[in-house]
Amino acid sequence: MKKMKLMLIPGLVLGAAAMLGAADTKSVTVPAPDAKAAGNDLLAQMNKPTGTPVAKAFDFLPAVVAKVNGKDITKAEFIAAMAKQVPGGMVPPQMPAELLKMQAPQLVEQYVTKLVLDKALEDSKITVSADEIAAQFKAEIAKMPKDQRNMIEQMLKAQGKTIDDVIKEQAADKNAQKMMAFQKFLESKTGKVTVTPAEVEKFYKDNPSQFKEPADGKDTIRASHILIGVDKNADAKAWDKAKKEIEAIIAQLKKGADFGKLAAEKSTCPSGKSANGSLGAFGKGQMVPEFEKAAYALKVGEISGAVKTDFGYHVIRRDASKGERAMAFAEVKDRLTAALLQQKQMMAAQKVVNELMKAAKAEILVKAEMPKMVAPKAAPQAPAKAK
C-alpha cells in the first residue's frame, strides 16, 4: 500500500510535536553505576529530561511563517502552539537544530493546516455529543474479534479499569468529540467511503509478498504458557496458593487436557485469551532468565513443571518452530479490509484538506535549510625524501 502523507486533524496532537514528545521520553540520562555515592539530589538532577526551549530552538524562523487568507501567521503564534505540545516546552536533544531547520516547512504547514481545519469545522456548526461518542465506541467494540476484545479487557483489568470505564472517559473527552465532529465534517464532503469485497480480494491476489509469514529466526524457539500471576511483593501465602493452582493445571495437562483451552480459561497473561497461551517465537535474552532457561530445556511438545518468575508461576509448553508460509485470505480478510478502508478514508480526507488549504489561500513562507556540507581537509603530504 502507498504511504500516505501525515494529515493533521482537529483534536490530534501536531505530528511533529508527538514525535518530539516521544523523543523526549528517551532523553533521560542514565546514571553511572556509582552515581548513588553522589547523593539523591545529584541523581534527581541527572535524570531530568534535557533539551532546548521551543522559542530558542525555533529562533531561526522568520517573523512571519505563513499567511492564511492574507493574514500573517507569526513565528510567535507558531512557537506558542509548539510549546504547548512538547513536554515541558522543551525540544529534546534528539532533535538538533539541523534537523529542525530541514523539517521547519512541514512543521509550519501542519500548524497552518490545523488552523484552517479548526476554522472549517467551526463554520460547519457540526458538533458531537458525549452520547454519540459512547454509541460509536460501543459499536466499534461490538465489531471486534472476540480474542481482540478479550486481550483489551485483560490489559485494562491490569490497570483496574473496564471497557465501560474507557468509554465513559472518551465520551467526556472534548478532544474525542472534536475528532468525531471532524469525521462527520469529512463525510459531509466526501460521502461514505467504502471498500468492496472484490477490492479486498484483488489486493490480496495482486500483492502475495505482503501476505507471507516469515520463518522463525535462527536460534529462536516457540513456546506457549499458562501463568498464575502474583505480585512480586506479595506474601508467601499468595505465592503458595499460585503454586498449587499451577500444579493442579499441570496435573490436568498430564491427563490430556487441552493446553490452549486451559490457557484461555486460567492464564492471567493476555496471551491466554488472545492466543491460547502462545508467545510466538523468541530468542535468547527476550524472556526473563528463569522462563528462558526452562523453555529452552524442553523438547518440542514437552510440558514443564512449575516455573517461578517475578510474574508468578508458569507452566510452559515448547512448540514447533515455523517455516515461511503464505497466509490464507480468510486469515487476513478483516484486517486487510480495515487497512484498505483506512487508506481510502485518508486519501479522501487529504483531498478535502488540500481543497480547504487552497480556498484559504494558505502560503507557507518557511524554506527548508539543508545541512551545510563541510569539505574534508586534505591529508597532509609526507615530507619529500632528501635527495
The tens digit of pLDDT for each residue in 257-285 reads: 999 999 999 999 989 888 999 999 999 99
Nearest-angstrom CA–CA distance, 153 and 311? 19
Q: Is the pLDDT of residue 247 over 70?
A: yes
Report the pLDDT value the prediction gives residue 386, as an integer from 0 to 100: 46
pLDDT band of 140, cuts 50, 70, 90: confident
Instruction: Report whether 302 contacts 317 (CB < 8 A).
Output: yes
Query: Measured on CA atoms in the order 35, 38, 43, 49, is the torsion positive or negative?
Result: negative
Average pLDDT over residues 157-180: 88
Report the pLDDT value the prediction gives residue 49, as an integer from 0 to 100: 52
Q: Which tops the pLDDT comparison, 99 or 3?
A: 99
CB-CB neighbours of 290 under 10 Å: 14
Which residue is listed with cell 500516505? 4
CATH of 215-323, one of 3.30.1360.120, 3.10.20.520, 3.10.50.40, 3.20.20.140: 3.10.50.40
The size of the chain, in residues, is 387
Task: Name the grid cell of 357.
Answer: 488549504
Which residue is listed with cell 488552523? 115
Please spell the DSSP secondary structure of 297-345, one letter per residue: HSPTT-B---EEETTEEEEEEEE-----EEPPHHHHHHHHHHHHHHHHH
Which residue is listed with cell 516455573? 307
Report the pLDDT value the prediction gives residue 33, as an integer from 0 to 100: 34
Average pLDDT across the chain, whole number: 83
Q: Which tops the pLDDT comparison, 245 or 97?
A: 245
Report the pLDDT value the prediction gives residue 96, as an integer from 0 to 100: 86
pLDDT band of 39, cuts 50, 70, 90: very low
Which residue is listed with cell 546514571? 31
Nearest-angstrom CA–CA distance, 175 and 128? 11
Report the pLDDT value the prediction gives residue 146, as an integer from 0 to 100: 77
pLDDT band of 9, cuts 50, 70, 90: very low
pTM beyond 0.85: the answer is no
CA torsion, ordered 79, 85, 87, 89, to nearest 10 deg: 10
Average pLDDT over residues 185-196: 90
Q: Are strands 71-74 and 64-68 parallel, antiparallel or unpaired?
A: antiparallel
286-294 contact pairs (CB < 8 A, 24+): 291/225, 291/316
Q: Is the pLDDT of residue 47 over 70?
A: no
Average pLDDT over residues 75-96: 90
Report the pLDDT value the prediction gives residue 230, as an integer from 0 to 100: 94
| Least confident interval from 200-209, 306-315, 368-377 | 368-377
Report the pLDDT value the prediction gives residue 378, as an integer from 0 to 100: 55
Q: Where are the alpha helices (DSSP H) in the chain?
A: 15-24, 40-46, 54-57, 75-85, 97-124, 130-143, 146-158, 163-172, 174-190, 197-206, 236-254, 259-266, 270-275, 289-297, 329-359
Report the pLDDT value the prediction gives residue 363, as an integer from 0 to 100: 96
Q: Is the pLDDT of residue 373 over 90?
A: no
Report the pLDDT value the prediction gives residue 233, as an integer from 0 to 100: 87
Average pLDDT over residues 310-318: 97
